[in-house]
Structure 1
Amino acid sequence: MQKISKFTQKYLLSPLAISFWLPVIFMTGYFASRGMAPFGTSTILTVDLGQQYIDQFAAFKAAFLNHPSNFLYSFSNALGGDMLGEWAYYLMSPFNIIFLFVSDLHLPSAILWVTVFKFGAAGLSMAYLIHRLKLQEGHYISLFAISYPLSGWFIANDLNLLWLDTAILLPLLILALEGLLGGKKGWPYSILLALTIISNYYIAFMVVIFIVLYALWRFPQLAHKTIKIPLIFIGQSVLGAVMSAWLILPAYFQLQQGKIGHNSAWSLAFENNPLHLLIKLIPGSFDFEQMQNGQANIFISAFVLVALGAFVTNRTISYVSKLTALLLLAILILATCWAPLTLAFHGGQYPVWYPYRFSFLISFFLIFLAAWGYRPNWQPRLLTCSILFAIVTAITLYALSQLKQLSFLTNNNILIFWLLSSICLLVITAPMPHYLRLGLLGFITCISLTTNISTTLNNFSYINLSDYQTTITALKADKNKIHNDRSWYRVGQTYQRTRGDSMMEDFYGGGHFSSLMPNKMVQFYQAMGQPEGDNFVNYSNGTVLTDNLLGFKYYFSPSPQINKTEGSPQSRKTGYRADFTQYQRYAQTSTTTIFKNPQALPIAFAANQQVLQTYLNSALPIQNQARLWQALTGRKDQLISKDDFDFSQANNVNLPTTITNSQLEKKDSSQPGSLTLTFTPKTNDPYYLTLGGNLKIENFDLLINDQVITQFSSYRNTVIVNLTDHAAGQEQKLTIRLRNAASLTLSNVALYHLNQAAINQDVAQLKQHSLTITQRTENQISGHITTTTSKPVIMTSIPAAPGWQVKIDGKKVATSQVGNFLLAIKTKPGYHQVQFSYVPPYLYWGLIITLIGVIILGSQIIISRSSPRLQE
Structure 2
Amino acid sequence: MTVYFAYRQMAPFGSSSLLTVDLGQQYVDFFAYLRRTILHDPSAIFYSFSNGLGGEMVGNWAYYLLSPLNLLLLFFPGGSLTSGIFLITVLKYGLAGLSFAWLLLKVTKQDGLMAITFATAYALMGWAIANQLNIMWLDALIFLPLIFYGLMQLMTTGHWKPYIIWLPIMLVVNYYMAYMICLFLVLAFIWLAADKFTTWRRFAAQTGRFAVASLISGALAAAVLLPTWWSLTQSKAQYTVQTFKWRFELFPLKTLSKFFLGAFNFDQMPNGPANIFIGALALLGALFFFVDRRVALRSRLAAGIVTIFLALSTCVQPLDLLWHAGQFPVWYPYRFSFVICFWLIWLAAQTLTLDFRPGPIAIGLVTLVVALGCYYVETNLKTFKYLKPNQFWLGILFVIFALMLTTFPFKKHWTYPLMIFVIGVTEVTANAYLDLNNISYVSQSEYGNYTAELQRLVNKTQQADKGFYRIGKTFLRTKGDAFQTGFNGGSVFSSALPKATPTFMGHIGVPDGDGFVEYSNGTLLTDSLLNMKYYFKDKQLSGALSGSSMLPASSNKADLADYRIVGQDHWATRYQNPYALPMGYAASNQILSLKDTTADPAQYQANWLAALTGNAQDQHLFTAQNFSQVAFQNINQQSKITGAMLQKKDLLKPGSITLSFKPQDNAAYYLTMGSTVNPQNATFTLNGKSLAQYPTYRNTIIVSAADHAKGQTIKLTIQLKKGSLWLQNFTLYRLDTTRLKQATTQLKEHPWRLSQQSDRKFSGTVTATANRQVLNTSIPYSQGWHATVNGHAAKTYKTVDMFTAVKLRRGTNHVTLAYWPPFLNLGLLISGVTLLLVCGWWLVIVRRRR
The aligned residue for residue 136 of structure 1 is 110
With 694-703 and 578-587 compared, the bigger mean Cα shift is at: 694-703
- Given candidates 610, 621, 643, the residue that maps to 1:661 is 643
The aligned residue for residue 523 of structure 2 is 543
The aligned residue for residue 406 of structure 1 is 384
Matched, 1:489 2:489: no
Matches within 5 A, 1:519-668: 519-561=499-541, 569=549, 572-617=552-597, 619-637=599-617, 638-668=620-650
Instruction: For residue 568 of structure 1, report the CA deviation from its aligned partner.
Output: 6.6
Could you list the per-position Cα deviations for residues 770-801 of structure 1 after superposition, in whole angstroms to 9, with x for gaps in the alignment? 11111122111111111111872111001111
Distance 1:376 1:418 in 2: 24
Instruction: For residue 867 of structure 1, report the CA deviation from its aligned partner.
Output: 4.4
- Given candidates 803, 808, 818, the residue that maps to 1:837 is 818
The aligned residue for residue 768 of structure 1 is 749
Could you list the per-position Cα deviations for residues 690-734 of structure 1 after superposition, in whole angstroms to 9, with x for gaps in the alignment? 001122322212222222211002111000000001112222212
The aligned residue for residue 428 of structure 2 is 449
Distance 1:123 1:260 in 2: 34
Q: Which amino acid aligns with 1:406?
A: F
The aligned residue for residue 226 of structure 2 is 249
- Given candidates 722, 727, 732, the residue that maps to 2:709 is 727
The aligned residue for residue 12 of structure 2 is 38
With 537-546 and 369-378 compared, the bigger mean Cα shift is at: 369-378
The aligned residue for residue 3 of structure 1 is none
SS at match of 1:546: helix
Instruction: For residue 526 of structure 1, report the CA deviation from its aligned partner.
Output: 0.6
Could you list the per-position Cα deviations for residues 495-543 of structure 1 after superposition, in whole angstroms to 9, with x for gaps in the alignment? 0110000000010010000111111111110111000000101100000
The aligned residue for residue 464 of structure 1 is 443
The answer to whether the Cα contact below 8 Å between 1:558 and 1:593 also exists between their aligned partners in 2 is yes
Could you list the per-position Cα deviations for residues 799-823 of structure 1 after superposition, in whole angstroms to 9, with x for gaps in the alignment? 1111111111111111112111111
Q: Which amino acid aligns with 2:67?
A: S
Q: Sort the Cα spacing of 1:230 and 1:568 in 2 relative to 1 into closer, same or farther, 3 A.
A: farther
SS at match of 1:279: helix
Instruction: For residue 79 of structure 1, report the CA deviation from its aligned partner.
Output: 0.3
The answer to whether the Cα contact below 8 Å between 1:61 and 1:99 also exists between their aligned partners in 2 is yes
Distance 1:701 1:308 in 2: 54
Matched, 1:437 2:416: yes
Distance 1:90 1:568 in 2: 34
Distance 2:409 2:303 in 1: 31
Could you list the per-position Cα deviations for residues 383-408 of structure 1 after superposition, in whole angstroms to 9, with x for gaps in the alignment? 43333333333332222222211111
The aligned residue for residue 56 of structure 2 is 82
The aligned residue for residue 717 of structure 1 is 699
Distance 1:118 1:568 in 2: 38
Distance 2:616 2:729 in 1: 26
Q: Sort the Cα spacing of 1:852 and 1:569 in 2 relative to 1 into closer, same or farther, 3 A.
A: farther
- Given candidates 134, 148, 159, the residue that maps to 1:174 is 148
Distance 2:468 2:298 in 1: 67
- Given candidates 140, 162, 170, the residue that maps to 1:188 is 162
With 390-399 and 173-182 compared, the bigger mean Cα shift is at: 390-399
What is the Cα-based RMSD across aligned positions, in Å?
1.7
Q: Which amino acid aligns with 1:197?
A: L
- Given candidates 446, 449, 455, the residue that maps to 1:476 is 455
Distance 2:347 2:550 in 1: 56
- Given candidates 100, 119, 122, the residue that maps to 1:148 is 122
The aligned residue for residue 677 of structure 2 is 695
The answer to whether the Cα contact below 8 Å between 2:113 and 2:421 also exists between their aligned partners in 1 is no
Distance 1:374 1:452 in 2: 22
SS at match of 1:146: helix
Distance 1:561 1:135 in 2: 67
Q: Which amino acid aligns with 1:242?
A: A
- Given candidates 310, 327, 333, the residue that maps to 1:349 is 327
Distance 2:254 2:848 in 1: 52
SS at match of 1:260: helix
Distance 2:401 2:157 in 1: 43
- Given candidates 270, 275, 279, the residue that maps to 1:301 is 279
Matches within 5 A, 1:819-858: 819-858=800-839
Instruction: For residue 438 of structure 1, report the CA deviation from its aligned partner.
Output: 1.2
The answer to whether the Cα contact below 8 Å between 1:309 and 1:384 also exists between their aligned partners in 2 is no
Q: Which amino acid aligns with 2:658?
A: T
Matched, 1:219 2:200: no
The answer to whether the Cα contact below 8 Å between 2:26 and 2:480 also exists between their aligned partners in 1 is yes
Q: Which amino acid aligns with 2:40?
A: N
SS at match of 2:631: strand
Could you list the per-position Cα deviations for residues 673-697 of structure 1 after superposition, in whole angstroms to 9, with x for gaps in the alignment? 1111111212211000000112232
Instruction: For residue 281 of structure 1, report the CA deviation from its aligned partner.
Output: 0.6
Matched, 1:91 2:56: no
Instruction: For residue 215 of structure 1, report the CA deviation from its aligned partner.
Output: 1.0
- Given candidates 117, 125, 130, the residue that maps to 2:99 is 125
Matched, 1:263 2:243: no
Q: Sort the Cα spacing of 1:28 and 1:564 in 2 relative to 1 into closer, same or farther, 3 A.
A: farther
- Given candidates 678, 681, 686, the residue that maps to 1:704 is 686
TM-score after normalising by structure 1: 0.94
Distance 1:673 1:564 in 2: 33
Matches within 5 A, 1:730-745: 730-738=712-720, 740-745=721-726
With 711-720 and 228-237 compared, the bigger mean Cα shift is at: 228-237
SS at match of 1:503: helix
Q: Which amino acid aligns with 2:647?
A: E
The answer to whether the Cα contact below 8 Å between 2:541 and 2:548 also exists between their aligned partners in 1 is no
Q: Sort the Cα spacing of 1:867 and 1:177 in 2 relative to 1 into closer, same or farther, 3 A.
A: farther
Distance 1:731 1:567 in 2: 24
Q: Sort the Cα spacing of 1:174 and 1:565 in 2 relative to 1 into closer, same or farther, 3 A.
A: farther
The aligned residue for residue 779 of structure 2 is 798
Distance 1:609 1:571 in 2: 42
Distance 2:563 2:507 in 1: 25
Q: Which amino acid aligns with 1:844?
A: N
The aligned residue for residue 12 of structure 1 is none
With 707-716 and 303-312 compared, the bigger mean Cα shift is at: 303-312
Distance 2:838 2:339 in 1: 28
Distance 2:289 2:550 in 1: 60
Distance 2:481 2:195 in 1: 54
With 555-564 and 296-305 compared, the bigger mean Cα shift is at: 555-564
Gaps of 5+ in 2: none
Q: Which amino acid aligns with 1:589?
A: D
Matches within 5 A, 1:486-525: 486-525=466-505
Distance 2:181 2:131 in 1: 16
Distance 1:226 1:570 in 2: 64
Distance 1:717 1:312 in 2: 54
The aligned residue for residue 19 of structure 1 is none
Could you list the per-position Cα deviations for residues 200-254 of structure 1 after superposition, in whole angstroms to 9, with x for gaps in the alignment? 1111111111111111221133356252221121111100000111111111111
SS at match of 1:832: strand
The answer to whether the Cα contact below 8 Å between 1:792 and 1:827 also exists between their aligned partners in 2 is yes
With 783-792 and 557-566 compared, the bigger mean Cα shift is at: 557-566
Q: Sort the Cα spacing of 1:671 and 1:867 in 2 relative to 1 into closer, same or farther, 3 A.
A: farther
The aligned residue for residue 8 of structure 1 is none
Matched, 1:292 2:292: no
With 244-253 and 176-185 compared, the bigger mean Cα shift is at: 176-185
Distance 2:353 2:706 in 1: 77
Tell me the number of residue pairs that the alignment of Structure 1 and Structure 2 aligns.
Answer: 842
Distance 1:618 1:150 in 2: 52
With 75-84 and 342-351 compared, the bigger mean Cα shift is at: 342-351
- Give the % identical residues: 38
- Given candidates 136, 154, 157, the residue that maps to 1:162 is 136
The answer to whether the Cα contact below 8 Å between 2:511 and 2:701 also exists between their aligned partners in 1 is yes
The answer to whether the Cα contact below 8 Å between 2:288 and 2:362 also exists between their aligned partners in 1 is no
Q: Sort the Cα spacing of 1:84 and 1:375 in 2 relative to 1 into closer, same or farther, 3 A.
A: same
SS at match of 1:675: strand
The answer to whether the Cα contact below 8 Å between 1:523 and 1:618 also exists between their aligned partners in 2 is no
